[in-house]
Amino acid sequence: MSDGRVFPLIEVSRDELTALVGAPIARIDRVDGGLTNTIHKVTLEKGDVLAVKHYAGGRDAFEAELVTLTLLHGTLPVPDVVHADADHHVIVYRWIEGITLNDCRKAEAQAMASLAEPLGRLMAWLARTDATEPYELAPILEKAYRQLVDGRARQRLGAPLADAIRQALESAEPQLAWGTVCLVHGDLGGRNVLVQRAAPDRWRISGVIDWEATSTGSPLLDIGSLFRHADLYDAEFRATFERGYREADGTLPEGWLLTARLLDSTWLVETLDEPREFPGVYADCRMLLARLAKDLGTG
């Protein structure tokens, strides 16, 4: 995808960063990646390394992430908050060493196999986190149906694919309602999972970042997000992931992968219904939905 940022980068001076971290700074690096927030990696003169995250989206995103990081601290590998500035919507947290799951796949494809079981365990642990607010599936599906029938999503998908996805969602409504409602990350994919090498042939999860889209829902939502690009994960990876999930006392329904991807399709449809133009993003969404329809046998 080659679209520009959702929000422009925020200009932050060295003095402002110094005030936020509360100590002399040796080095500042702006972190690339992401289309919304502005993040700086700040190395202090005493050696500590921090991340300073400015939330361009405003108070809601700032508060959602702060509450979630506080809730999950000590339970899951989430950023450790050092300071939060509610007036300027900034969180300072300890830098997590590692590379993204996406970068790991590109650099060392064979290493991905060692991450399948840890990812399954991580997702099972997250699925046991209590929901923070009520969740209803029906309004989500009704919204997706409207967007697929006469919204911008239909225009961008084309009628045949829009109808195929709508019919698949309608047919699968009972399966989509599976599971105990829990806290969900909301964007748990390859760019928000950080990993480190633990041994020459083994990697471990070092952190899960970007919790600002946190909500309440089915545990299948995050699984669908993780496996959105399903072709990147072979049968062995999926089987090992499932084993790790179940060994961590997680439960999965029959046909869990397709059901999770179908539930995740509501997010893709909502993205396609955006009024703003992001051609690269929309092309990616169309490709993913076409692949899902094909795997479901409807496209």
State pLDDT tens for residues 155-180.
999 999 999 999 999 999 999 999 99
The pLDDT of residue 4 is above 70: no
Which pLDDT does position 299 carry in this prediction? 66
Both tokens of 175, joined, read 């399966």
Which pLDDT does position 7 carry in this prediction? 84
The pLDDT of residue 6 is above 90: no
Tell me how far apart the alpha carbons of residues 149 and 155 are, in angstroms, rounded to a whole number: 9
Tell me how far apart the alpha carbons of residues 244 and 114 are, in angstroms, rounded to a whole number: 11
User: Residue 28 corresponds to which amino acid?
Assistant: I
Tell me how far apart the alpha carbons of residues 158 and 166 are, in angstroms, rounded to a whole number: 12
Q: What SS3 class is residue 84?
A: strand
Q: Are 148 and 269 in contact (CB under 8 A)?
A: yes
Averaged pLDDT score across all residues of the chain: 95
Model confidence pLDDT, tens digit, residues 85-99: 999 999 999 999 999
Hey, what domains does the chain have and what are their CATH numbers? 14-94 (3.30.200.20), 99-296 (3.90.1200.10)
Both tokens of 69, joined, read 């990081």
The residue with tokens 């992401």 is 34
Which pLDDT does position 1 carry in this prediction? 45
Which pLDDT does position 72 carry in this prediction? 96
* Strands 90-94, 81-85: pairing kind: antiparallel
pLDDT band at 3 (very low <50, low <70, confident <90, very high): low
Residue 34 phi/psi, 5-degree rounding, is 85, 150
Model confidence pLDDT, tens digit, residues 227-246: 999 999 999 999 999 999 99
Query: Within 151-229, where are the H helices?
Result: 152-157, 159-171, 173-176, 219-226
Instruction: Say if pTM beats, i.e. exceeds, 0.75.
Output: yes
Helices (H) and strands (E) in the chain, counts: 12, 10
Which pLDDT does position 227 carry in this prediction? 97
**Edge-to-edge strands, sheet with 99-100:** 99-100, 193-199, 202-208
Angle formed at CA 275 by CA 269 and CA 279, multiple of 5 degrees: 70
Mean pLDDT to the nearest integer, 265-273: 98
Residue 153 phi/psi, 5-degree rounding, is -60, -40
